[in-house]
Structures are given as structure tokens and as C-alpha cells.
Amino acid sequence: MNKNEKEVNSVPFLIKEVDNKLTTAGKPYQSLKIVDVSKKAMDAVVWNHDFVNLLTANNVVLLSGKLSEYKGVPQLSIDFVMQGDISSIDLFIEVAPVKKEALISEFEVFINQIKNQDIKRIVTAFVNKYQIKIYEYPAGKAIHHDYRYGLLHHTVLMCRLGAFIAKEYPGVNQDLLMAGIIIHDLMKVEELSDATNPEYTKAGKLIGHISLGAMELKTLADELKIEGEVPLLLEHMLLSHHGELDFGSPVLPLTLEALILSQIDLIDSRINIVTKALKDTEPGEFTQKVFALDGRSFYKPKL
């Protein structure tokens, strides 16, 4: 080992990406992107193919090898791999700031508070069908709530706002509003590939969660033999929840509940985007340009 190398012995890492490559001489090797418990990413290479079964994306492994620099970038040359504790995956990635169990409990309370039986049956069927993914997935790949359990976190925060608005404005149909909030983004579990290192799926790219949601709602309503205004109104809420045609909604909100849903979604997503930008900003300074919000820079008060 030369003086610029450092020994690494059985250190836990999360594998983010695996790429099979060839050297200029035609020798096969694997190039990895790995993350340690500080959530710092680095490159790694593996020449020994005995470990190929363990070297898969989203797996937690214990790695041994030599840490050095390659082209000025830290790189771990891996000598040995052992299976790590996959249940510890949350240590390596960003997760919701609220415990998953607390979010699930609150989410289920909001569902149980729906009184209209047709609405409740549709919502329950939707949630039951995709429950495992709903409780794990982010709400997006990069823009807002882009962390594990982010979809659940985003939905619960919106439910809180919806419940408050319905209480303050008696003309709002609370069951309809809360149902729309609960199911509006659920098909992001089909739009995205997984909970820890998501990419857009083929269906996500070609159709998107808005249209996927409307299609799934129609399917579930037909299976439950629910007809009339309930499925129609819920489908409208799904199709219009981005609020603007330029934002991907096929139609504009044309009911009070659909309008409120679009505004609550806008509020929570925008707050999350700006909060994320402010996180790495010193008081008295402006954030980097936030491209999701017209490239604006936001000021972080000294107060």
C-alpha cells in the first residue's frame, strides 16, 4: 500500500449504482457509486467477480479495500464484500423528518374520518392496493419531498391543511376534499422506480402520475360498482390537481374542492422546495437560484 492509500475494513456503505465496464485492455470490472452513513457519495471499483451477487443497487454492504484518489476524486478499490444490514438503509439516505410510524398512524386516521361510504371505499381500495409502496416512496425524484417516506409526509401535511380549511369554510365538502388529497399523488409509486434511488419508469415518462391516477380510479370504481358523481368528481380532482395546464394538468379545477386541492398542493410543495434551499444557506444570505421557482434566490433572515 502506498502512502496515499488508506485501509478500509468492513465499513458499511449503500450501493447506489453499479456499472459493468471494460478496461482499455478488455479486462472486466465493476464501477460503483456508494454512500456512507454521513450520506457522502464516492466512487468505487471491484475487480474480483466473486462478489457480483452482493453488488446490486440499493443493497447495504460491508466493504474492505484501499481508499485513494483517482483523477483527483476519492475512490475505493474494493477487496472484499460482505452483506450488511439492509434494514439500516435509512442511515444512508435522506428520509422524512417525521418517523414513518407516526405518519402512517395519522394518514390512517384521515382515511377513517371519511363518512361517505362510496368515497371511503374507493380511497381504501386505492390505498390497500399500493400500501407498501405508498409508505416507502418519495414524492418525487428531485423537486419536492424527494426523500424516503416523502410521499406519505407530503400527503399527511396536505391532509392537515385540508382538515383545517374544511373546518373554517362550511361550504367545503370535507370527505371529497380529503379523499382527493389522499389519492392525488398515489400513482407516483408507478411513476417512480423505487423508494431509495428513484428513476422515472417507462409509464412515468410516457403517461405520468396524473393520468395514471385517473385511469386507476376509473378501474377501481368499476370494480367496486360505484357510479355517479363520486368517481367523476374524484377523477376530476386527480386530473386538475396541478392547477394549471402549463403544469401538466389536462383540465383546470372546476369544483371548489379541486381548486382547494391544487392550492394546498402548491403551498406544501413550494414550502418544501424553499425550505430545502434555505437549509444550506447562512442567515443573512440568499439561496442558490431555485430553478423550480423561476430561478429566484430566497433570503434567509437573521432573525
What pLDDT score was predicted for residue 103? 98
What pLDDT score was predicted for residue 2? 59
Burial (CB < 10 A; 0-12, 13-18, 19+), residue 38, is exposed
What pLDDT score was predicted for residue 158? 98
For residue 45, give the nearest of 8, 62, 26, 20 by alpha carbon. Answer: 20
Pairing state between β 73-83 and 60-70:
antiparallel
125 vs 21, 49, 146, 233, CA distance in Å?
45, 45, 25, 17
In whole angstroms, give the CA distance from residue 210 to residue 205: 12
What pLDDT score was predicted for residue 119? 98
Angle at the Cα of 150 from the Cα atoms of 230 and 99, rounded to 5 degrees: 110
- Give the three-class secondary structure for 10: strand
User: Which residue is it, cell 374544511?
Assistant: 166
**Residue type, position 271, single letter:** I
- Give the three-class secondary structure for 69: strand
CB 212 within 8 A of CB 238: no
φ, ψ of residue 113 to 5 degrees: the values are -80, -10
Q: Give every CB contact of residue 107 below 8 A, 6+ residues apart in sequence.
A: 152, 155, 156, 159, 182
Domain residue spans of the chain: 6-90, 94-279
Q: Give every CB contact of residue 234 below 8 A, 6+ residues apart in sequence.
A: 119, 122, 176, 179, 180, 183, 217, 221
The CA-based diameter of the chain, rounded to the nearest angstrom, is 75
In whole angstroms, give the CA distance from residue 187 to residue 84: 31
What pLDDT score was predicted for residue 3? 60
What pLDDT score was predicted for residue 159? 98
User: Which residue is it, cell 405518519?
Assistant: 103
For residue 146, give the nearest of 271, 276, 41 by alpha carbon. Answer: 276
C-alpha cell of residue 67: 481508499
Axis-axis angle for helices 229-240, 209-223 (nearest 10):
170
What pLDDT score was predicted for residue 164? 98
pTM of the model: 0.89
pLDDT (tens place) for every residue of the chain, 303 residues total: 556 788 889 999 999 999 989 888 888 889 999 999 999 999 999 988 778 888 999 999 999 999 988 888 889 999 999 999 999 999 999 999 999 999 999 999 999 999 999 999 999 999 999 999 999 999 999 999 999 999 999 999 999 999 999 999 999 999 999 999 999 999 999 999 999 889 999 999 999 999 999 999 999 999 999 999 999 999 999 999 999 998 889 999 999 999 999 999 999 999 999 999 999 899 999 999 999 999 999 999 998
Question: Quick one: 6-90 is in which CATH superfamily?
Answer: Nucleic acid-binding proteins (2.40.50.140)
Pairing state between β 41-46 and 60-70:
unpaired
What pLDDT score was predicted for residue 51? 82
